[in-house]
Amino acid sequence: MLDTTPRGQLAALVADLERALVAQDADAVADLFLETGFWRDLAAFTWNLKTCEGRPQIRAMAAAQLPAVAPQALVLDPAEEVSEADGVTEGWLRLETAQGRGVGYIRMKGGRIWTLLTTLHELKGHEEPRKLRRPMGAEHGHDPERLSWKEKREEEATRLGYQDQPYVLVIGGGQGGIALGARLRQLGVPAIIVDAHERPGDQWRKRYKSLCLHDPVWYDHLPYIPFPDNWPVFAPKDKIGDWLEMYTRVMELNYWSSTRATSARYDEATGEWTVTLDRNGEEVVLHPKQLVLATGMSGKPNVPVFPGQDIFAGEQQHSSQHPGPDAYRGKKVVVIGANNSAHDICAALWENGADVTMVQRSSTHIVKSDSLREVCLGGLYSEEALANGITTDKADMIFASIPYRIMHEFHVPQYDQIKERDAEFYDALRAAGFLLDFGDDESGLFMKYLRRGSGYYIDVGACDLVIDGSIKLQSGKGVSHLTRDAVVLDDGTELPADLVVYATGYGSMNGWAADLISPEVADKVGKCWGLGSETTKDPGPWEGEQRNMWKPTMQEGLWFHGGNLHQSRHYSRYLSLQLKARYEGLETPVWGLEPPHHAS
């Protein structure tokens, strides 16, 4: 009897898709999608991070990749429920190809596939030593030549980088580099992480002392070791720093602190890099096959150039250099910028008795922390979500299953609700002269972050100080020049200053590649981050995925890894598997790798 329940209908569609995939019938695969359907693949079929939009792109990808990938199975996960609402049926998938196994998520509308997510989770024959495969640890029996665990680790640390070369060199030891290093370690890929700071976690410890995570704890776990269930909702920076340092030790990472990469060059003939490092005063040259720039979502600090900076008698700092408010009690401070760092720094300075003015040159998206947590994240990342069976891994997959092209459509209703919920708050900000926006299409914080990585503040209290005038505000004005003791705005307003803080963000990660390797390689790779959405600061053409992030680039052997803790956790899975496949010599035919449309 025909099963007409939502699960039965979805199961029939998935069965048809499985038959078409196994038969390597690209036309049949494409015909199962809506004309405007989406297939987002994270390394399982494309060996890339790629979203195919519409039947022609889906057909082209399937025709190119199915013979090499050789799909073997795609089924509804019998352990997971199927949901149906507003004419959309959703369910979890399990998939298998000739080389790997993975997880998928499907949405059906009108009897056809609306969105399909496929992700690679493990390589056959190279599974992680977890759960039933976990190592024994103890070596029972007798062996006079036996080395202890500590001796083995010490020997590995002594040899790697000298007698033995790493397959992967990760430059940058923040949450991104550490998360990737942990995954590579579990996969058995020899890797070294290098960072210029003295200790793991110092990237956090050395920021201004009031810094806390603005994202809630459920959103911010690292791979393998989640934060304990008594961890604060918003972790202070030094607590995060301590956690990262502990994590590097517990996960047995080969982490070289006090180490700065000074140059890198790729040899096409040998297929390896020559990377020169300054390791605490010692020059070390490494020859990895793969080089990962894990220098964060952003690049080098973006310090604006204004006339008079050379004659200003006070201090000038980029926000990344700001030590905190302690030395500035009773001082006059001008903060250029009005996003996350600017608000945090202004609030801490005011609390410490400084006379602080924020210069807001253009509009900023503001969302209250509670509203973000409850309205936007509560269904996926919260205690309630966990109680409903939505683990962090499941939440990551559901979030990833929404194609970027239509993601804003999911967020606009949330921010409509937030606007109504916090109407008095926004009215008060506007009355104070603050320039507000919700993004070019009113889709709020996440889309702003994905498109350009800036232009917002998650309010944890500083906005009240703007509203009541405790933090003075100059909005809609640019900086004309600096004098010996003041910042002069373009309308002639003079702001006396002992300190100027440039909370002006960061450039593209591409800038690190230009400095470390060459401008030519940076141009060859093109921009990092952004979708090509034709919105403010995210010029087109449309890319459909984050540019150059977590996937192959136009420069062989060069990868970029970064983002917040959520992205570092989630996308390190796919980057590590792509690297592992190459380490093992597996065939990895990449689909959809194209030259950049705009070089940085």
Domain ranges in the chain are: 6-123, 156-300+507-583, 315-367+393-502
When pLDDT is averaged across residues 361-373 and rounded to a whole number, the result is: 94
Helix (H) or strand (E) holding 279: strand 272-279
Q: Which is higher by pLDDT, 431 or 508?
A: 431
- Rounded-to-integer distance, Cα 30 and Cα 59, Å: 5
CA neighbours within 13 Å on the CB side: how many for 160? Answer: 21
Going by C-beta distance under 8 Å and a sequence separation of 6 or more, which residues neighbour residue 406?
38
When pLDDT is averaged across residues 285-293 and rounded to a whole number, the result is: 98
Give the pairing type, strands 33-42 and 112-123: parallel
The CATH class for the domain spanning 6-123 reads alpha beta
When pLDDT is averaged across residues 132-147 and rounded to a whole number, the result is: 84
Residue 301: predicted pLDDT = 85
Query: What letter does residue 221 receive in the DSSP assignment?
Result: P
Residue 270: predicted pLDDT = 96
- Rounded-to-integer distance, Cα 102 and Cα 180, Å: 19
pLDDT at 584 over 50: yes
Mean pLDDT over all residues of the chain?
Answer: 94
Residue 453: predicted pLDDT = 67
When pLDDT is averaged across residues 365-392 and rounded to a whole number, the result is: 94
When pLDDT is averaged across residues 30-34 and rounded to a whole number, the result is: 98
Q: pLDDT tens digit string along 127-137?
A: 999 999 998 88
**Best-predicted range by mean pLDDT (146-155, 171-180, 295-304, 317-326):** 171-180
- Rounded-to-integer distance, Cα 474 and Cα 477, Å: 7
- Rounded-to-integer distance, Cα 117 and Cα 130, Å: 25
- Rounded-to-integer distance, Cα 99 and Cα 122, Å: 9
Residue 296: predicted pLDDT = 72
When pLDDT is averaged across residues 251-268 and rounded to a whole number, the result is: 97
Q: pLDDT tens digit string along 437-448?
A: 999 899 998 899
When pLDDT is averaged across residues 474-492 and rounded to a whole number, the result is: 97
357 neighbors 431 (Cβ within 8 angstroms) = no
Domain 315-367+393-502 has CATH 3.40.50.970: no
Residue 375: predicted pLDDT = 94
- Rounded-to-integer distance, Cα 373 and Cα 387, Å: 16
pLDDT at 298 over 80: no
Give the number of other Cβ atoms within 10 Å of residue 282's Cβ: 9
Confidence of residue 600 (pLDDT cuts 50, 70, 90): very low
**Amino acid at site 553:** T
- Rounded-to-integer distance, Cα 407 and Cα 450, Å: 10
When pLDDT is averaged across residues 58-65 and rounded to a whole number, the result is: 98
When pLDDT is averaged across residues 411-428 and rounded to a whole number, the result is: 97
- Rounded-to-integer distance, Cα 96 and Cα 113, Å: 19
Residue 3: predicted pLDDT = 83
196 neighbors 260 (Cβ within 8 angstroms) = yes
pTM: 0.95
Measure CA 368 to chain center: 22
pLDDT at 599 over 50: no
463 neighbors 343 (Cβ within 8 angstroms) = yes
- Rounded-to-integer distance, Cα 423 and Cα 461, Å: 16
Helix (H) or strand (E) holding 159: helix 149-159
When pLDDT is averaged across residues 392-414 and rounded to a whole number, the result is: 96
pLDDT at 598 over 80: no
What is the DSSP secondary-structure string of 440-494? TTS--HHHHHHHTS-SEEEESSHHHHHHTTSSEEEES--EEEE-SSEEEETTS-E
Measure CA 266 to chain center: 26
Residue 502, CA distances (Å) to 296, 466, 498, 548, 573 in order: 19, 18, 13, 28, 35
- Rounded-to-integer distance, Cα 440 and Cα 437, Å: 8
pLDDT at 299 over 70: no
Helix (H) or strand (E) holding 259: strand 259-267
Q: Percent of the chain at pLDDT above 70?
A: 99
Q: pLDDT tens digit string along 207-225?
A: 877 788 888 999 999 999 9
Measure CA 396 to chain center: 12
Q: What is the dihedral of CA 46, 51, 55, 60, to 10 degrees?
A: -30
Q: Which residue has the tokens 């010029």?
A: 539
Q: Which is higher by pLDDT, 426 or 141?
A: 426
CATH number of the 156-300+507-583 domain? 3.50.50.60
When pLDDT is averaged across residues 460-476 and rounded to a whole number, the result is: 96
**Amino acid at site 161:** G
When pLDDT is averaged across residues 33-45 and rounded to a whole number, the result is: 98
Q: Going along 280-385, which residue ranges are E strands?
A: 282-286, 290-293, 315-318, 332-336, 355-360, 365-368
Confidence of residue 295 (pLDDT cuts 50, 70, 90): confident
Going by C-beta distance under 8 Å and a sequence separation of 6 or more, which residues neighbour residue 473?
357, 358, 360, 432, 433, 434, 466
pLDDT at 510 over 90: no
**Do 6-123 and 156-300+507-583 have matching folds?**
no
pLDDT at 316 over 60: yes
- Rounded-to-integer distance, Cα 343 and Cα 459, Å: 8
Residue 597: predicted pLDDT = 75
Terminal CA-CA length for the chain: 59
